[in-house]
Structure 1
């Protein structure tokens, strides 16, 4: 048997208040359905972050948690080593923001340096983005190209020249009202929607795994998931 695919859930106590830890459960289950063993590690601040995993997941959190998370990750260094080695990172909301070059917090818009793993910068937006979001995945066609989720963020994220948008907005706000949502640099993906977003978009979950494994995965057919996605897409378009 091949070695298990190692998935690391990063700082759930800081970046896990919106249920984004469900993304880890989705990846593990989709591997198991293919008879691929999975090892899931939940790493908290104070624990060394393993740098030998294939996938790292970060979720949403409040301002103070963001600052603690980014400073702890910089001091640890494990995530940077993993990315340099070729690991995949999937970061949501606050996790997305700290992947960038910098972000601001608080009423005084204090500037905090990010991890620099995505060429994006985030400032406080004029209005908070809250509600269902529907986007079209860049470079994809068909039903799987539609991505659904729930956005809840006050950040206004702008992409730099080396970042590409993950998707284009059909309904909702996205990065900053410019029609883009999320960002991609190599195997690092950032996005705003919760849901958990990988439960709502199984093709995106498989894409993260394929980046990590550097191989194409056999499709999984689930009429129940297909029907649920159809209903969600129809509802958000109404």
Structure 2
């Protein structure tokens, strides 16, 4: 197992509206608590995206920020190459939409990076409030066993294609799309309780919080993937304050 973790924080200057930068901080801290050397590398708008990071995180932003992020990531290609090389990627909210096939922003359809088989249009009403789900344990998330919890705040109706699987099955909240957005979807019934997406080594979700602060098992799964080991091989961390926070939110 490697003794160093490099966390790539992707475009925090344009996709940093909702405090999702905190996910990179959680990864760094949980790695350091296990005696690993861990550093965060900020990859700002206009910077080339290095393909050498062990794990990548990207957050949420508004329409203009989404368009800028998508155009930059498509033109640069570094994140796509890193994904194809097997690096785990966590994308939040607008990050989910940007990594999809297309999304609606500023009144038009914008091409996404194409790492997730998903398209995003608009919802009739905003999804806002607590959201919780049971992990589907699809693909890279097979070892997840604990409920997922976060805070959703979006107007995007994300429909998953056959290449992607939901990250979680909703128990609270709206998730990826409202009923109106699913009316014309052939397999709409299977997506009514969908939250987030998993495809290859990409994990995407609408959960803010930051999501990794509220879901330490998910954080450790990303660390394990970055280290090339199983989640069960990581030394457990005893953090009672985090456990209390989870109990409060899940209640």
Q: TM-score range by the shorter chain?
A: over 0.9
Task: Kindly report which structure 2 residues correspond to 1:106-185, keeping only aligned pairs within 5 A, or say none.
Answer: 106=106, 108=107, 110-139=108-137, 145-177=146-178, 178-185=192-199
* Structure 2 stretches lacking a partner, 5+ long: 179-191
**1:72 counterpart residue number:** 72
Query: For 1:112 and 1:123, how far apart are their aligned partners in 2?
Result: 10
**CA deviation vs aligned residue, 1:9-62 (integer Å, no higher than 9, x gap):** 011110001000000000000000100111210011121111111111110000
| Aligned counterpart, 1:205 | 219
Equivalent pairs, count: 232
> Shift of the alpha carbon at 1:219?
1.8
Name whichever of 191-200 and 218-227 sits farther off: 218-227
SS for the counterpart of 1:145 is: coil
Please report how far the alpha carbon of residue 65 of structure 1 lies from its aligned counterpart in structure 2 after TM superposition: 0.4
| Structure 1, unaligned runs of 5 or more | none
Normalising by structure 2, what TM-score?
0.88
> TM-score under structure 1 normalisation?
0.93
RMSD: 1.8
Contact kept? 2:2, 2:227, Cα under 8 Å: no
CA 1:207–1:3 in 2, change beyond 3 Å: closer, same or farther?
A: closer
- 2:11 maps to 1:33: no
Distance 2:2 2:167 in 1: 31
Moved over 6 A (4+): none
Shift of the 146–2 alpha-carbon distance from structure 1 to 2, 3 Å rule, reads: closer
